């Protein structure tokens, strides 16, 4: 991943800044010993820091699909890492170095990300943009003077280039098979005493207890009968309903009440309505 970024930066500088000139592009540490041996004009891109870009970290999982559009696995989203390059120009005259630094600054300011047409390898396979920034103020926990002090060299005009590279090296979690058209089956039956735990074959592994199953729970069967041939006793439910007669029947004097009892208006006990 890092070497692929190096290749893109080298090709970009050679094509848009040097334009075929006899200036080399190297990635060496600009130490005092190295500077003493530099006898040809060159552009040095020294990678001095690698750290994660926490502002670009995502949560959750991404789905992986097969050719039929079915989810086959889930993986973590890519994480971005900032590659910090210290860019310096090395010539015999300081004026030529300043002119070369100005050309480098103008070229890199024209690109907010690495050109997609120049990406190769895993960077091209990911398909995500690779943003970069040039000559921003350094973070509070780091200064360029400290970098030069650590290298043991003299302070020199330089450009700070930061490239945020996506990295997809993360575990992939295989998902279970999709639910088919058979639907969900529910059964009720007697649980035999002292039965063995339910054992079913899991993909890629041997017979293991079913998660959530308890000993004695009947296992999955293709038919409705036990292996011994006896039919399981199931749970049946019958729903009955008693309806009251319509109000029109009661008004017509059918002689029955709402529940089939004879209508008693009290005339028999009190002697009302007898013969005259």
Instruction: Confirm if 189 and 236 have CB atoms less than 8 A apart.
Output: no
Residue with tokens 């690698």: 50
- Contact between 225 and 232 under an 8 Å Cβ cutoff? The reply is yes
Residue 96 lies inside a defined structural domain of this protein: yes
Residue 263: predicted pLDDT = 47
Q: Indicate which CATH number applies to the domain containing 86.
A: 3.30.2000
Strands (DSSP E) contained in the chain are: 24-26, 42-52, 62-65, 71-75, 79-90, 132-134, 159-167, 172-174, 199-201, 207-209
pLDDT at 272: 46
Instruction: List per-block mean pLDDT (blocks of 10 residues) for the chain, which spans 276 residues.
Output: 92 88 90 88 93 82 78 81 93 92 94 90 84 86 78 86 86 73 64 56 54 51 49 49 58 49 47 44
In a domain, 201, yes or no: no
d(CA 73, CA 172): 6
**End-to-end alpha-carbon separation of the chain, Å?**
118
Please tell me the predicted confidence (pLDDT) of residue 137: 84
Residue 44 in any domain: the answer is yes
Burial of 115 (C-beta count, 10 Å sphere; 0-12/13-18/19+): middle
| pLDDT the model gives residue 103 | 94
Is position 250 within any domain? no
Closest CA to 18 of 107, 85, 110, 135: 107
Report pTM.
Answer: 0.59
Question: So what's the pLDDT on residue 271?
Answer: 46
Q: Are 44 and 30 in contact (CB under 8 A)?
A: yes
pLDDT value of residue 4: 92
Instruction: Look at residue 193 and give its three-state secondary structure.
Output: coil
For residue 110, the enclosing domain spans 2-168
Q: Is 207 domain-assigned?
A: no
Asked if residue 128 belongs to a domain, the reply is yes
Query: Phi/psi class of residue 124: alpha, beta or left (left: φ > 0; alpha: ψ in -120 to 50)?
Result: alpha
Answer whether residue 191 is part of any domain.
no
How many domains in the chain? 1
Is the residue at 195 inside a domain?
no
Task: Give pLDDT, residue 185.
Answer: 64
């Amino acid at each position: 991943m890092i070497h692929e970024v190096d290749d893109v930066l080298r090709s970009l500088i050679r094509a848009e800044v040097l334009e075929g000139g006899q200036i080399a592009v190297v990635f060496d540490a600009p130490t005092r010993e190295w500077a003493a041996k530099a006898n040809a004009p060159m552009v040095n891109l020294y990678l001095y820091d690698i750290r994660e870009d926490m502002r670009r970290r995502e949560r959750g999982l991404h789905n992986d699909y097969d050719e039929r559009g079915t989810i086959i696995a889930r993986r973590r989203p890519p994480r971005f890492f900032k590659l910090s390059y210290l860019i310096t120009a090395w010539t015999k005259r300081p004026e030529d170095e300043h002119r070369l630094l100005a050309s480098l600054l103008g070229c890199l300011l024209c690109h907010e990300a690495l050109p997609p047409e120049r990406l190769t390898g895993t960077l091209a396979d990911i398909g995500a943009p690779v943003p970069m920034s040039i000559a921003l103020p350094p973070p509070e926990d780091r200064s360029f003077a400290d970098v030069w002090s650590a290298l043991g060299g003299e302070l020199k005009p330089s450009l700070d280039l930061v490239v945020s590279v996506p990295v997809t090296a993360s575990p992939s979690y295989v998902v279970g098979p999709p639910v088919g058209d058979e639907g969900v089956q529910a059964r009720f039956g007697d649980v035999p005493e002292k039965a063995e735990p339910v054992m079913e074959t899991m993909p890629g592994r041997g017979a293991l207890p079913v998660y959530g199953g308890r000993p004695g729970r009947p296992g999955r069967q293709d038919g409705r009968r036990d292996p011994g041939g006896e039919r399981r006793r199931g749970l049946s439910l019958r729903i009955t309903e008693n309806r009251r007669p319509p109000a029109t029947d009661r008004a017509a004097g059918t002689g029955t009440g709402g529940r089939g009892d004879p209508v008693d208006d009290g005339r028999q006990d009190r002697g009302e309505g007898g013969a005259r």
